[in-house]
């Protein structure tokens, strides 16, 4: 093998290795950015006492693996309640307006995206629609 051929082969190997590393990194990134949570479609009636927390801004309830929060006079947010790190149940912090995990300090914003801590992926966000006193949570 001539020196020129040897160098060409070395460059080809380096290129293939770089491409493989890039693809592996991208696939890991794609997996970790996929929101996690159950598929749901259920209703909550705000007139029921079990849902009375939702009648105050900052109040929240858990149902069907989802935490539903009243974020304003007529606005609600719902995300999966299981932390994507090790599955602890997340809560809502009215001060920071973030979801927090009591186990290892992970936090998520109102869209379910990781703000800080060890969670490897966002929690799934759901659509909330209100019709009178009935909320429908879907996603």
Distance CA 23, CA 139 (A): 30
Interaction of residue 46 with ligand FES, rule CB under 6 A:
no
Query: Which DSSP state fits 83?
Result: -
Residue among 85 and 124 whose Cβ is closer to ligand FES: 85
Strand order across the 91-93 sheet: 91-93, 98-100, 107-108, 114-116
Q: Which is nearer to ligand FES, 123 or 137 (CB)?
A: 123
88 binds ligand FES (CB under 6 A): yes
Task: Provide DSSP, 92-120.
Answer: EETTTTEEE-TTT--EE-TTS-EEESS--
40 binds ligand FES (CB under 6 A): no
Is residue 65 involved in binding ligand FES (CB under 6 A)? no
117 counts as binding ligand FES under rule CB under 6 A? yes
What's the full length of the chain, in residues? Answer: 139
Name the 3-class secondary structure at 130.
Answer: strand
36 or 64: whose CB is closer to ligand FES? 36
Q: Which is nearer to ligand FES, 59 or 120 (CB)?
A: 120
Does 106 help bind ligand FES (rule: CB under 6 A)? Answer: yes
Chain positions contacting ligand FES, by CB under 6 A: 83, 85-86, 88, 101, 103-104, 106, 117-119
């Amino acid at each position: 093998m001539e020196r020129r051929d040897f160098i060409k082969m070395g460059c080809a190997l380096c290129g293939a290795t770089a491409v493989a590393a890039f693809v592996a990194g991208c696939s890991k990134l794609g997996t970790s950015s996929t929101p996690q949570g159950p598929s749901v479609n259920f209703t909550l009636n705000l007139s029921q006492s079990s849902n009375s927390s939702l009648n105050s801004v900052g109040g929240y309830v858990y149902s069907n693996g989802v935490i539903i929060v009243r974020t304003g006079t007529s606005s609600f947010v719902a995300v999966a309640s299981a932390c994507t790190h090790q599955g602890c149940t997340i809560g809502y912090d009215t001060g920071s307006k973030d979801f927090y995990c009591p186990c290892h300090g992970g936090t998520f914003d109102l869209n379910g995206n990781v703000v800080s801590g060890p969670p490897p992926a966002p929690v799934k966000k759901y659509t909330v629609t209100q019709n009178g006193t009935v909320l429908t949570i879907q996603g």
